[in-house]
Every structure is written in C-alpha cells, then in structure tokens.
Amino acid sequence: MKKVWLITGSSSGLGRHLTEAVLQQGDIVVATARNPEKNQDLKSKYGDQILSLALDVTNRQQMEQVIKESIERLGRIDVLVNNAGFGITGAAEAFSQEQVRSQYEANLLGPVELCRAVLPYMRAQRSGRILNISSIGGRITSIGLSIYQSAKFGLSGFSEALAKEVAPLGIKVTAIEPGGIQTNWAGSSMRFAAAVEGYESTVDTRVEAFKNGGFVPKSDPVKVAQVIIDMAENPEPPVHLVLGSDAVAVFDQENAAREAEYKQWLSVTLSTDADS
C-alpha cells in the first residue's frame, strides 16, 4: 500500500531531495513549504501523487488546516517528517529577542506542535512514523550556535520522550541527527547576530567560517534522504540516528569529555542523598 508522507520544508535543501525521492518510489507526499509554488515542477510531473500546500510551521492555524485537508483528501498520514528550520550564528548575548524566538518557534515549537496535531490520527490508525530532523547539534554543542543547538537539543529530547510514550500505539519516532549536509544551511539560509566585542577568537571565527566557505559539510543530501526513507520502512528504527563522519568525530569527542567530567565529580553527585 502506498504511504502518505507529510514533509515540511519540502521546497529546498534536504526537504526537496526527500520529497523527490519519496515520489520516485511511488508514495504520496503532502509537500508543505512557505512557498509551495517552488514545487510546481513536481506537481506537473507527479500530478495527484503530490499535494502541495502552504505551511509556515510557526503558524498553528495554517498547520491545522494542512492536516485537515490532508486527511480529507488522502484519508491518512503515515509518515511525518519535521524538516523545516534554519540556523543562526552569533554570541548568545548578541541575538535579538526576535532572533531567539524565531529559532525556538521554527526549530522546536513548530515540530512539537505538528507532532501533537498529527498524533490523534496516527493513534487512531495504531500506526505511524515520525522523523524529526534534528542535528548533531542536538547532542553536542559548538561555539556560536547556542540558540540553534538548544532548540535542537529540545527536539532530540522531545523525540526520545515521545518515542517511549507512543510505542504501545504502533508509532515509531526517530530523531535524525546529521552533521553538515551539502545544502544551503550554512549558506543563504544561515542568519547572523550582530558582532560583539570580545568574541574575536571564538564566535567571530565561526561566523567567518560560515561566510567564507570554511565550513565543509560531509553528507550528501541524496544519501541522507534515502536513509530517512529506509528508517520509515525499518520495523525497529533507532530513537537517535547520527549521520556523517563529521558528526561521529565530534560526538565521540564530546561523549568522552562528558564521561570524564561525570566520573571526576561523581563523589559530589552522590553526596546529596539524604542521610535517611
């Protein structure tokens, strides 16, 4: 039976590659984007196999309308991919309130609300797959990405908790946690805070790398898209899936540092138990 996928951020980057790959394998896609006209070529090629709808993931009313129309026209939603989002770089103190809010709304609150809105239908079906596109930055941290990565930490944590909650309902949840992907994430999609004195050797170095091609992503978006499709089919997918050799390198290093710190302070950790 053909699956019905709902993919956010489907008009560019990884979302576009994934949408094309799902359509090519014969499944049906509700392709959502802020500018759905960018998918007109796919609509012309695949016809009724694609339902192209406008969706800003920070707009709850629009989100509910998309789900309502999807169910009315297609009858079900089998796979939800929360892909829409964007990055922002700068010193934590330098971000504007609007920049901070927009990161959490797009990268955390939007995906959480879309999961919550889709779950009643998956619960009724007693089946479904949710794949949240987080980041290796949802497991480790980097200078200059405090706001972006804290949102991704939230998304990875939410995914893990949700996976435990919905397992008896036949619903599987996976946080996809890639390193750099060869898309425009660090290019035209990246936004920046204003520069602040004192961060020349830390944050400014990261900003310079993003602006001048010093950031070299390892993962091929076509390969990442295929992995996502494979996870939607896998009977026992992981809750967390790290992707890319760059992600592995920083993940292993950070895990070792955390383990060493934990053991160093273990006596203090255990010292707070009540005497009784």
Percent of the chain with pLDDT over 90: 96
The reply to whether 256 falls in a domain is no
The catalytic residues are 134, 148, 152
Q: Give the type of residue at 169.
A: L
Q: For the chain, how many residues are written? A: 276
The reply to whether 275 falls in a domain is no
The reply to whether 101 falls in a domain is yes
The reply to whether 98 falls in a domain is yes
End-to-end CA distance of the chain: 59
Q: What is the pLDDT of residues 214-265, one digit of tens each?
A: 898 999 999 999 999 999 999 999 999 999 999 999 999 999 999 999 999 9
Q: What is the CATH number of the domain that holds 119?
A: 3.40.50.720
Average pLDDT over residues 153-179: 98
Q: How many domains does the chain have?
A: 1
The reply to whether 253 falls in a domain is no
Per-residue confidence band for 185, with pLDDT thresholds at 50, 70 and 90: confident
The reply to whether 85 falls in a domain is yes
**Distance from C-alpha of 133 to C-alpha of 80, rounded to nearest angstrom:** 11
Q: Which range marks the domain in which residue 170 is found?
A: 4-247
- Is pLDDT at 1 greater than 90 in this prediction? no
The reply to whether 190 falls in a domain is yes
What is the H or E stretch that residue 72 is in?
helix 60-74
- Is pLDDT at 186 greater than 80 in this prediction? no
Per-residue confidence band for 58, with pLDDT thresholds at 50, 70 and 90: very high
The reply to whether 204 falls in a domain is yes
pTM for the full model? 0.95
pLDDT at 133: 98
